[in-house]
Amino acid sequence: MPPIVTPPEIERRHKVHESDNGSGRRPPTDKRTGGNGEGDSDNWNDRPQGRRGPRERLSQVRMGVFFGLFAVLMFFIAIVSAFFVTRASGHFDAYSKYVNEWLPTTIPSILWLNTAVLILSSASAEMARRSMFREEDVMDEWIGLSRRTSQRATAWLTLTLALGALFLAGQWVAWDQLAAQHVFFKSNPSSHFFYLITVAHAVHLFVGVGALIAALIGLRRSHQIASRQIFVDATVWYWHAMGLLWLFLFALLEFGQ
């Protein structure tokens, strides 16, 4: 940094303050309202790309989340392909008979309940997401008439968080039940995979829970409704993906063994 900051630079730095999404304090809706003392024109295409619309920052974060989900999907696909191979693998015993040690792990029935809880949590997360984008309320909140959107989203997200925690607790119960039946990680190739898949998914869900908490804090703390929208939107997309992924993994564990 040069030691002396010249006046034009101060001005410039002010203009691109961190919390500025580049939209020049326009309402974070898709409607191109224009005017608003910006002077020049309604033509948002004159602006450099990346700062073009009010939702530009949102769509950036969304894209980042989607590419991240590519990686998560490949992670689980790798485990699932190992699952197929190990399920079929065995060895030849002393009588040259092919022995496969794979004993399907009985899936605790509480997982059905957990799955239902996770689906519900996804639904409530979606409610939170939608409530962040209802146009009239967003305008109200942007003008400063109310914080209805954020309040509503906070309620829904809290519900999601509770349901998510319930799901994780349910998973814990499932592991407990299996342990009571003396089925541990080490017991069998099939139980390796049961634990690996459920634990890996739970870790990803923990990240989701962290994101939910961060979003809840963000909803309270953040001054910009656009930022609040981003917190909620990114978290909810991630949460949906984990829900979908769980449906796939659960189906695999329940019917694929």
Neighbouring C-beta atoms of residue 159, cutoff 10 Å: 17
**What CA–CA distance (Å, rounded) separates 165 from 157?**
12
**Closer residue to another protein in complex, CB, 166/200:** 200
**200 part of the interface to another protein, by CB under 8 A:** yes
User: Of the candidates 35, 39, 40, 71, which one interacts with another protein according to CB under 8 A?
Assistant: 71
Give min distance, CB of 78 to another protein, in A: 4
Six token digits for residue 97? 């008979």
Residue 78's H or E segment, with its range, is helix 56-88
Q: Is 181 in the site for another protein (CB under 8 A)?
A: no
Residue 189 CB, nearest distance to another protein (Å)? 4
Is-contact 157 219, C-beta < 8 A? Answer: yes
Q: Which is nearer to another protein, 45 or 180 (CB)?
A: 45
Examine residue 67 and tell whether it contacts another protein (CB under 8 A).
yes
Here the tokens at position 209 are 């829970």
**Tokens standing for residue 240:** 């949906």
SS (H, E, C) 56-67: HHHHHHHHHHHH
Phi first, then psi, for residue 91 (nearest 5°) are -145, 165
Query: What token pair was written down for 253?
Result: 């564990």
Give least dist CB 16 to another protein, A: 4
Nearer to another protein (CB atom), residue 77 or residue 217: 77
CA–CA gap between residue 27 and residue 226 (Å, rounded): 8
Size of the site for another protein (CB under 8 A): 55
- Residue among 21, 26, 29, 56 that touches another protein (CB under 8 A): 56
24 burial via Cβ count (<10 Å: 0-12, 13-18, 19+): middle
Rule CB under 8 A: say whether 59 interacts with another protein. Answer: yes
| Shortest Å, Cβ 187 to another protein | 7
Q: Is 99 helix (H, G, I), strand (E, B) or coil?
A: strand
Does 68 bind another protein (CB under 8 A)? Our answer is: yes
Judged by CB under 8 A, does residue 4 bind another protein?
A: no
Type of residue numbered 148: R
Contact flag: residue 98 with another protein (CB under 8 A): yes
Note whether 233 binds another protein by CB under 8 A.
no
Query: For residues 242 and 204, is the Cβ–Cβ distance under 8 A?
Result: yes
Per the listing, tokens 């939107």 go with 233
Tell me the two tokens of residue 122: 């996804």
The interface region with another protein, picked from 7-15, 26-34, 157-165, 209-217 by CB under 8 A, is 7-15
Q: Is 185 in the site for another protein (CB under 8 A)?
A: yes
Residue 223, SS3?
coil
Q: Is 255 in the site for another protein (CB under 8 A)?
A: no
> Cβ 10 to another protein, closest distance in Å?
9
Which DSSP category does 98 fall into?
A: E
Q: Which residues bind another protein (CB under 8 A)?
A: 1-2, 9, 12-13, 16-18, 48-50, 56, 59-61, 63-64, 66-68, 70-82, 84-92, 94, 98, 100-102, 185-189, 192, 196, 200
